[in-house]
Each structure stands twice: as C-alpha cells, then as structure tokens.
C-alpha cells in the first residue's frame, strides 16, 4: 500500500476548522506564515515531501516557492480568485490547481446585497447616530435612498454575479451587466465595456476575477461616468478599483458612495475612509459564515481525495 500524501495547510492561526477533517484522511502539516521565506524555514526537512498544499491565507504562490516544493502535485485554494497564484508556473511544473468553486457563492451574493442596502439606507451611519446620542440632541437622521427600481450594473456575471442579480430582481431593480462575453441565454442588457455600464446605471457591483485585464478596471474615468449619485459595491478583489482614486472620488463627491468588502492592500485600508458616512466597510468577510466554511472544507477534501485517486478534480482551475 502506497504511503499517504503529505498535505500542507496554510491558514490564519484561528482558521482551524479544516484541520480535523483533513487530518482524518491525510497526514497534514499546518503553517500560519504568509510569506515564503519563514514558511520554508518552518518546514525544514518536510518541504521536499509535500505533495499537496491547501492555501487558505492568500499566500503568494510564485515560482520561487514552488521551486522549494519539488514533490508538489496539487494546489487547493479556498478562494475563487487565483490572482495570488502563478498559474503559468504551475502549468510548467505539471501542478494541478483547484479553487473554491461555488462553495460560498450564495453567501457572497447575500453580502453584496447587504452592503448595497446598508449603503443606500445608511444603516451603519444611522446606528452610530443613535449610539452617540445625536438623535436625542440633534433630531432626525438624514434621509436614505430607495433601492427598489434602481439600475444595477454587474461587472462579472458568473455564478456570484448571477446570484446577486437573482436577489435584486424582487426589488424591481433593472439589471445589466458587463462580462468577458455576452451571454445569449441571459435576459439582462449587456454593455460591452465598463464605461458604458457605469454611465447607464445607478449602482455597479464588482464580482469579476482580478487579472492583468481587470486590474484597476474601475478607474477615475469610470467613477466620473457613474457620477455623484452613483454607488459602487465591491465583493470581488480590491485591485479591481484604483483605490487611491476611489478615496479622492468619495471625499470630493464625484460618486455617491461605496460598499467595500475587499481592498488593495489588505488588511491595510486608507484611513480617509474611516470618517466617511457614505462608505460601508467589511473585512473581506463576504464568505465568512459557518455554512460556507463547512462547504469549503468538504470541497477541499473532495478535491484531495479525487486527485490522489486519479479522478477528475471537483473544482479545477484552467491553466491555459
């Protein structure tokens, strides 16, 4: 009987929800390091024996790190996005890659709608207003903005984008989208570029992948097209927006507001955002529910079992 493959689980210190499940099926090593040098130092003699990595902490997987893991065959990401993975190097080395698939799509879609309602109705700002005693001292809170009937443009109509659209339909929102290509079976209006999407909507929701083509796809020109009564929701990746220009546009009133779950240099966030009532902030937690974490753990295990049984991966990432 062949020896069970060693699996390295890279995770934040408190994210131990997967350890027991994986440990019952594979010998595992865990590490909390988020950069390659201390990670490799901590592994010492085990690095050459690791055949699979489960990456939960957005560890950057580059050519240098891969060169120190000569036996690596499989990389399992617990995110949908793979912008932190050198996919070309994985392909060159024959390393298979799996991602989170649809494990947390519903929860991210829920969060996107929650951010939008919170932003338009100013729920966090209203909460602060009450807690600070200003309601009793200064009177009624400012008016919010109605969601029903709003024109909402979705940037990236994949699984998450489609679920967001499905949730906004009952509000009577008018949905349109921009994606890598027009989807013939979709009834929503398609815009061929993000500028026209922004110009013809009250809200744009970002849920596309981050890559060389989409980095800073929402720049100042897009925000100016969206306008002073327009709003941005980002549950994709922080790098989809030119964050420096976003801060300027929020402070100067170029756009109406933003609901942000992701940022360019997490966990560092521009301090200018902290004092703005037209911003709702979330710590990259759109998928953070017990149900999603259980789905991710089960999917990671299923991918590991499939791969080491010479079966197709459950949620493979295309490397070409």
Residue 60 dihedral angles phi and psi, to the nearest 5°: -75, 120
CA 277 to chain centre: 23
Q: Of the listed 215, 216, 220, 284, which one is catalytic?
A: 284
CA-atom Rg of the chain in angstroms: 21
Residue 137 dihedral angles phi and psi, to the nearest 5°: -85, -40
Distance (Å) of CA 168 to CA 30, 151, 288: 40, 10, 21
**Nearest residue to 189 (alpha-carbon basis) of 203, 202, 201, 207:** 201
What are the start-end ranges of the H helices in 169-278?
Answer: 194-199, 220-226, 243-252
DSSP 86-143: -HHHHHHHT-EEE--TTTTHHHHHHHHHHHHHHHHTTHHHHHHHHHTTHHHHH-SPPP
Distance CA 155, CA 175 (A): 11
Q: Is 128 marked active-site?
A: no
Q: Is 237 marked active-site?
A: yes
Q: Of the listed 237, 243, 245, 264, which one is catalytic?
A: 237
Q: Of the listed 20, 221, 244, 266, which one is catalytic?
A: 266
- Strands (E) located in the chain: 6-10, 28-31, 50-55, 74-77, 96-98, 151-155, 174-178, 189-190, 203-206, 231-234, 257-260, 279-281
Distance CA 98, CA 103 (A): 12
Which residue carries 């909460």 as its tokens?
127
CB–CB of 276/253 below 8 Å? no
Q: Is 20 marked active-site?
A: no
Active site residues: 237, 266, 284
């Amino acid at each position: 009987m062949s020896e069970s493959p060693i699996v390295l689980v890279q995770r934040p210190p408190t994210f131990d929800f997967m350890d027991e499940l994986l440990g019952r099926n594979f010998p595992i090593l865990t590490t909390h390091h988020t950069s390659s040098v201390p990670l490799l130092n901590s592994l010492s003699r085990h690095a050459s024996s690791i055949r699979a990595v489960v990456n939960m902490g957005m560890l950057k997987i580059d050519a240098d790190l891969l060169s120190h893991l000569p036996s690596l065959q499989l990389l399992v990401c617990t995110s949908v996005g793979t912008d932190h993975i050198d996919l070309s190097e994985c392909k060159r080395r024959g390393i298979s890659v799996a991602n989170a698939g649809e494990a947390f799509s519903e929860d991210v879609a829920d969060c996107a709608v929650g951010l939008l309602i919170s932003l338009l109705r100013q729920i966090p700002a209203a909460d602060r207003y009450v807690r600070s005693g200003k309601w009793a001292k200064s009177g009624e809170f400012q008016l919010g903005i109605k969601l029903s009937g709003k024109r909402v443009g979705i940037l990236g109509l994949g699984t998450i984008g489609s679920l967001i659209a499905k949730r906004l339909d009952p509000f009577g929102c008018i949905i349109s989208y921009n994606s890598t290509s027009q989807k013939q079976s979709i009834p929503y209006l398609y815009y061929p570029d993000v500028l026209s999407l922004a110009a013809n909507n009250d809200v744009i929701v970002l849920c596309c992948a981050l890559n060389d083509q989409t980095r800073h796809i929402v720049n100042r020109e897009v925000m100016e097209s969206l306008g002073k009564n327009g709003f941005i929701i980002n549950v994709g990746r922080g790098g989809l927006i030119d964050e420096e220009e976003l801060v300027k546009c929020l402070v100067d009133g170029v756009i109406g507001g933003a609901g942000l779950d992701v940022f360019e240099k997490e966990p560092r966030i521009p301090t200018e955002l902290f004092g703005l009532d037209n911003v709702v902030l979330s710590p990259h937690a759109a998928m953070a529910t017990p149900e999603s974490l259980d789905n991710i753990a089960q999917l990671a295990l299923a991918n590991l079992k499939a791969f080491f049984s010479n079966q197709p991966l459950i949620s493979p990432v295309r490397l070409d």
